[in-house]
Copies of this chain bind each other. A is one copy, B any other.
């Protein structure tokens, strides 16, 4: 077992210093981040003028800093490798732990477990890789807990009510009670299903997210959106239900297929486009490092994505407005996923093509200039993500699925579109329908 030095309860507000650099980060320029409470009413761009992580300045600062890290809103540099991002939701607040080797730190998980029985929900791909490790972390010096697991088939096409029932069946067979804890171990599909199962089982039990894909780490595990698909539309059945914590062990990315990695990068690009120009520019410069799985680059992208998401969710948990902006490209993307068949494309792939379409439409409306269109296209191409929908998608298919999108209100489809300089977007139903038609026709053969 690796040394468990990166995060400890007692270090919450102080420096996180690794006695020995973790294996996966040893060769890379390392950096650390202070815990930041993200509950400011608005976000000035200055707040994110952090040094790019692979800069000389960062490395210098690390070697020069062994003093406690202050808890403020500016970027501080220590010498640990981990970070904590808070999702500030009053009594439903929770921390996101990000770091290497976190699954080797039993304390971190155990302090968020309620009751004596735990149900780990995972899938056939992840179970052989990480289930034992997670069970060990949950039971280490903790003989009173009982850990059960349910292993679901892997893939978006199984994200439905039928599969969900297997979680309930298992929980009831094992006589789980209201004081049990569900643990989601896997990607976005597992997180969404386990979260919804936790929301509905006995009308709500505690749960913990352990996302193992970049997609889940930068997006779906944070913010409490849970649910399953309906044959006619994605995520149409679910709940807003917050976890006790999100534990992101960046080491799990070592086993992630390239295509899944790129899919996660698609969502990270999204944050840059809708609200964080500096992050977008950082990604433009560091895309090769991300694709090469540079641990520090990945850790930075995850942290900054979680910060963006945590801030938005803190301000608008139930998606009454601002939170919808996180769905840039998703209305088009969900239509692709639904009409093309769940699981044919990964979520981030569909979202990438969807973002290009949303950007195209924004340009047709005259809301952005063409340099943004080009930069979006280029960065997604660099990330090996699709920039057009599958050839079988027709205008009719798009329209039919988009009509049941959750963002339709009283019959009006609202979209997230870019408007103004890079990093700005709007969520609106007030746009020229002609532009939408033109975009659909431009991206579909018929």
Contacts and interface: CB of A to CB of B under 8 A. Distances in A.
A378 to B, nearest CB: 35
Contact of A175 (B175, B200, B237, B408): B408
A59 interface: no
A202 interface: yes
A404 interface: yes
Contacts of A238: 200, 203
B165 A410 contact: no
Nearest to A116: B410
A172 interface: yes
A115 to B, nearest CB: 6
Contact of A237 (B173, B201, B233): B201
A203 B240 contact: yes
A161 interface: yes
A204 interface: yes
30 contacts: A116-B410, A117-B410, A161-B161, A161-B165, A168-B230, A168-B237, A172-B230, A172-B232, A172-B236, A173-B232, A175-B403, A177-B406, A177-B408, A177-B409, A177-B411, A178-B407, A178-B408, A178-B409, A179-B409, A179-B410, A196-B200, A200-B238, A200-B239, A202-B236, A203-B226, A203-B238, A203-B239, A203-B318, A203-B406, A239-B239
A225 interface: yes
A185 interface: no
Interface in A184-214: 196, 199-204
A227 interface: yes
A177 B410 contact: yes
A48 B275 CA distance: 57
Contacts of A202: 236, 406
A116 B236 contact: no
Q: Is chain A's binding surface mostly helix, strand, loop or mixed?
A: mixed
A413 to B, nearest CB: 9
Contacts of A203: 225-227, 235, 238-240, 318-319, 406
A233 B169 CA distance: 11
Interface string A97-131: 00000000000000000011100000000000000
A439 to B, nearest CB: 22
Interface in A227-248: 227, 230, 232-233, 235-240
Contacts of A172: 230, 232-233, 236, 404
A96 B24 CA distance: 60
A319 B201 CA distance: 14
B410 A115 contact: yes
A407 B178 CA distance: 7
A65 B202 CA distance: 48
Given A116-B411, A200-B200, A203-B227, A406 B236 contact: no
> Ordered nearest first, which 5 A-B pairs have the shortest CB separation?
A177-B408, A202-B406, A203-B238, A172-B232, A179-B409
A147 B227 CA distance: 26
A115 B225 contact: no
A432 to B, nearest CB: 21
A168 B236 contact: yes
Nearest to A232: B172
Interface in A263-315: none
A178 B408 CA distance: 7
Contacts of A175: 403-404, 408, 411
Contacts of A319: 203
A1 to B, nearest CB: 28
Contacts of A173: 232
Contacts of A200: 196, 200, 227, 237-239
Interface in A161-176: 161, 165, 168-169, 172-173, 175
Given A168-B230, A168-B237, 5 more contacts: A161-B161, A178-B406, A178-B407, A201-B236, A203-B227
Nearest to A179: B409
A201 B240 CA distance: 11
Contacts of A225: 203
Contacts of A232: 172-173
